[in-house]
């Protein structure tokens, strides 16, 4: 919680922001906020936010600042209907919707410069990992590596964890935001997003059963969770991946990372720390945003710059 409210700066004067809409499908546009360092960038880093986040989420802004300071271009990707784009597509987003990110990555690859790294947070991490698994042998031609932070790789297991009484504050916060988004979508597509019964939904699972699953052609929430969890795709990943996870994450039980692929696939590296919560990782000393530092050093190593020791929290 402290990390969520901790002030995070992004220098938009030194690094001007370019807002660009990408038409990923005939009726779908997604918004990307891009910034570039002075001179030629060393490469590009695409950041994907989590559930009910946006390009303005604190972790997106502080990571973009770190990326730019390291000499890379930063692209803050907004999922469908996020970042104020509810009117620009008929659907919302879901935990396994990879097509929009893939479209933007391919566009950026044509623009240059290479390499491109993908950093996903929470739900965005699941999207990033699933995409790498879907691409399999094609991934190295597009991506140099992926970092996934606080990632719910088992959607059903994480949904059950959210329903625990101790996590009520987290689930209800997410649920309020999801309901608010449905009300906004209702203004544009009232028949597709009816409001009857919306206030009575008590859990993320119920929300997914009512809106997410039918909205994207899944039989039900269980079918959605089963088919879209990144855990099903880890063994197929063929590019370097860093999974950054706290053992005390309140909404992701650490046991979901007991996956054979994390032991058997040499492309996967799990960096687990005792403390950090969900997208927290605040350090006791400067720099405060420990995850940003770790990710930048990992990217630098992949880019060919000597890696520094990982600082303690």
Evaluate whether residue 142 is within a structural domain: yes
Measured between alpha carbons, how far is 66 from 31 in angstroms, rounded to an integer? 21
> What's the pLDDT at 173?
93
Mind listing the pLDDT tens digit for each residue in 97-128? 999 999 999 999 998 878 999 999 999 999 99
54 pLDDT higher than 90: yes
Measured between alpha carbons, how far is 255 from 33 in angstroms, rounded to an integer? 35
Measured between alpha carbons, how far is 310 from 313 in angstroms, rounded to an integer? 9
Evaluate whether residue 166 is within a structural domain: no
Number of structural domains the chain divides into: 1
Evaluate whether residue 210 is within a structural domain: no
Mind listing the pLDDT tens digit for each residue in 204-224? 999 999 999 999 999 999 999
> What's the pLDDT at 9?
79
Evaluate whether residue 221 is within a structural domain: no
**pTM across the whole model:** 0.93
Evaluate whether residue 111 is within a structural domain: yes
Evaluate whether residue 211 is within a structural domain: no
Evaluate whether residue 293 is within a structural domain: yes
Of 250, 253, 158, residue with least CA distance to 205: 158
Q: How far is CA 131 from CA 188, 224, 238, in A?
A: 30, 16, 11
| Residues 6 or more apart whose Cβ sits within 8 Å of residue 176 | none
Of 299, 217, 312, residue with least CA distance to 273: 312
> What's the pLDDT at 280?
83
**How many Cβ atoms are within 10 Å of 164's Cβ, its own excluded?**
13
Please state, for a pLDDT cut of 90, what percent of the chain lies above it: 86
Mean of pLDDT values over 89-95:
97
38 pLDDT higher than 90: yes
Mind listing the pLDDT tens digit for each residue in 233-274? 999 999 999 999 999 999 999 999 999 999 999 999 999 999
Question: In this structure, what CATH number is given to the domain that contains residue 150?
Answer: 3.40.50.1820
pLDDT level of residue 289 (50, 70, 90 thresholds): confident
With tokens 């996590």, the residue in question is: 167
Evaluate whether residue 274 is within a structural domain: yes
pLDDT level of residue 308 (50, 70, 90 thresholds): very low
Question: Which stretches of 110-256 are assigned E, i.e. beta strand?
Answer: 116-121, 145-149, 241-246
The mean pLDDT value of the chain amounts to 93
Cβ distance 239 to 139 under 8 Å? yes
Structural domain for 274, as ranges: 2-154+229-303
Partners of 28 in the β-ladder: 25
């Amino acid at each position: 919680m402290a990390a969520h409210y901790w002030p995070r700066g992004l220098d938009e004067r030194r690094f001007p922001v370019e807002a660009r809409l990408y038409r990923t499908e005939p009726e779908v546009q997604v918004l990307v906020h891009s910034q570039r360092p002075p001179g030629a960038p060393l490469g590009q880093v695409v950041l994907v936010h989590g559930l009910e986040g946006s390009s303005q989420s604190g972790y997106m802004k502080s990571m973009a600042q770190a990326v730019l300071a390291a000499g890379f271009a930063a692209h803050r990707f907004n999922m469908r209907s996020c970042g104020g784009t509810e009117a620009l597509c008929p659907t919302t987003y879901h935990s396994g919707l990879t097509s929009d990110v893939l479209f933007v990555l391919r566009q950026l690859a044509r623009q240059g410069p290479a390499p491109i790294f993908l950093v996903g947070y929470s739900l965005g991490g699941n999207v990033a990992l699933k995409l790498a698994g879907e691409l399999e042998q094609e991934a190295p031609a597009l991506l140099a590596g992926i970092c996934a932070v606080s990632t719910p790789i088992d959607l059903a297991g994480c949904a059950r964890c959210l329903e625990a009484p101790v996590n009520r504050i987290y689930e209800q916060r997410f649920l309020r935001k999801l309901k608010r988004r449905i009300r906004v979508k209702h203004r544009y597509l009232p028949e597709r997003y009816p409001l009857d019964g919306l206030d009575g939904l008590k859990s993320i699972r119920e929300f997914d059963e009512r809106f997410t699953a039918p909205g994207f052609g899944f039989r039900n929430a269980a079918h959605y969770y089963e088919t879209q969890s990144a855990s099903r795709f880890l063994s197929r990943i063929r590019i370097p991946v860093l999974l950054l996870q706290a053992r005390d994450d309140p909404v992701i039980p650490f046991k979901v990372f007991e996956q054979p692929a994390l032991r058997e696939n040499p492309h996967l590296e799990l960096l687990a720390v005792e403390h950090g919560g969900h997208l927290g990782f605040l350090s006791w000393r400067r720099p405060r945003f420990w995850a940003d530092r770790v990710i930048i050093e990992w990217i630098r190593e992949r880019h060919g710059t000597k890696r520094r020791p990982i600082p303690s929290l």
